[in-house]
Structure 1
Amino acid sequence: MNRLINKISILMIAIVTSLYAQEGTKLIAWKPIPEANGYQIQIKDKSGKLILDKKIETAYHSIEELTSGTYMVRTAPLNLFKKPAVWSNWKDLEIIISEPPQIVKEIEKPIILPKADSNKEKIISPVTIQGEHFLEATKVDLSIRDEQLPIVSKEVKSSERIELKVDTTEAKSGPYDLTVTNPYQKPKVVKNFVQVEEQKSDTNTDSNNNIKENLEEIKKNERVKTNLDTSNPIFITKSNDSNKQTNSTSTSKQKVSLPKGKPFRDYSYDEMLVFLETDVAVNCKNTKIPALTLSECHKTYVILNFSSEDNQSVFEFYKLVSENESNRISAYRYFSKHCNPKFRPAMERMELQWKNRSNLDPEERQSLAEELSKFRTCTR
């Protein structure tokens, strides 16, 4: 008996996190003790309720019946009388579902990341990965010819978005492949996901174009606004030459004033357009992204501020009125999933898009039909 107790004093739970793959069995296991005459295992749920208390013959036990969540577990070896000799300490047990990761690439071209002209300037660039089935345990790599791009930080914002900050200061120029791996699943590889390029002179026209691509500049072009008085529509067109506003029945300029104290989600579509026009980042001239959603502004990139759902919703609305089809489709998906409470300006914009759906490409028209239907009937 003393030998058994001495042995159990070093008993440790060997697996405290169970990862369920598409094939195989969920097991919890611990270090076997030769002198044990079986084991007893106990599991409590997060409320402290004992949900499993069982004597078994092996140093492992199936937990297929447990759903995803957090638990506490302990085990004890049994003596000759099939009684617990001594219990181990309670250990944390987390059960998560590990599925093959999916990646949504919003643009066909790689994300352009800047590289410093010299090592004197440290360049940290943000990279967003969108997809499905992301976990805290998800591993992410960016590599070129077996050389990895240093990842300064990785934050799993949700099961659908991972935010990275990568150090491109001394990185090799060229395309980097993205590899995303979930435990016990095959890696998902996306070729040429990012492209590291040396910075060019600010006076170079091509450089200015690249900066806009780096920031995924979302331009609002050929927008049609409807005045609060629907019988008197206003048409606004923005071009490179001039910004003009004409009224179908009058040349006088009509304005929509911003409401005070009203949440963004309750703005009208027109009011949100006015907000985007006025919320300009004065100290960040390389982008027209709303100042509300900017955290940091740098010479060749910006860092977004999604500290609140309002911030992200405003940014997604900014994408919703973009001339870029991929951005619009991404925004459709966002608002259909984050639909409670409804973001009124997005709903009005999507309804307007649906009325004018004959002008959309088939892929966008299908996406809009699916996501708008979810948005309209949201019960979350």
Structure 2
Amino acid sequence: MTKRAYNFNPGPAALPLEVLQQAQEQFVDYNGIGMSLMEVSHRSKEYEAVNNETQQLLLELLGINAGYQVLFMGGGASTQFATIPMNFLKPGRTAGYIITGSFSEKAYDEGRVVGEAVIAASNKEGKWRSLPKASDIIVDPNAAYVHMTTNNTIEGSQFSYIPETGGIPLIGDMTSGILSRPIDVSKYAMIYAGAQKNLGPSGVTVAVIRDDMLQEEPKHIPFIFRYTTHAKNKSLYNTPPVHSIYMMNLVLKWIKKNGGAAAMERQSIEKSKLIYDAIDTSGGFYQGNIDPDSRSIMNMTFRLPTEELEKQFVKESEQHNFVGLAGHRSVGGIRASAYIAVPYEACQALAQFMDDFQKRNG
């Protein structure tokens, strides 16, 4: 087999090798049915079993016993930015947004298109370096919901607490952090995540919605955009991304076998510490983009003394089998996305490369 790359892509991202090999074995002939799962009807008993099992696996790994529905949808988290206010932001109400980075800002912008969106808190003036304190979050008592992004993929920050909203439904975009640590889902009315970071390949988006949020069907929007439509049809209203959901099924089984969210958190802390230690002991050669108390264990972002050195760092890293270390095009710098399928050895190799690069260029 060709040597595996050290994959730090921000999404689509690394998948467990074990999962890829299992999918490879079943790619042409799924469970002896004489065809690939990608070729079967989404109404077939074979796919319905995968659909139902995947929903139950996710609920189990999130620690949910009852009271929530799992929906498999398309369009990525970006579509959810619009679908959420379309479903929940009624005339005469507001929607509160905690703005902590590019994606939460995009969610806010979509909210403004649909109705009256307000800023509950923002750290933009501080260039996203630290997250708002709980006391900085102001919730409008007339809000239909409060939206937050729990992990900021581009900037490299992560909430360490769940905001108190005084009974206003809290909605969390967990695209780049889901199942990387245990969370109390009961504090949220809804969480959602594009699969392509921690759950599987791109193509499917997970929405986990509390039952009371689905009691009233919004009559003013098309059926396809209503969460109630997808809930009533168990995510089979239209043809789902069958292969992406199957792959997510395998990833969830891999997470469960390897200790669940608690084990993923321990490993992620260890992996991210390797990178942050390389930054913090560099004497300023590497400059972290985020204050230590707001750092993400998924996305580690930093700068070098010059943009020329950053370009050289990325170029040399590619020569050493590293992939995906260039920062987002909107901010530049360096970003190492060590999602839960990225092995410890990859982060260890990156830390060693960083030390070596500094010795040669510092």
| Shared fold, TM over 0.5 | no
Larger Rg: 1
What TM bracket, shorter-length normalisation?
Answer: under 0.3
TM-score of the superposed pair, with normalisation by structure 1: 0.24
Bigger helix share? 2
TM-score of the superposed pair, with normalisation by structure 2: 0.25
Bigger strand share? 1
By relative contact order (CA 8 Å, sep 6+), the higher-ranking structure is 2
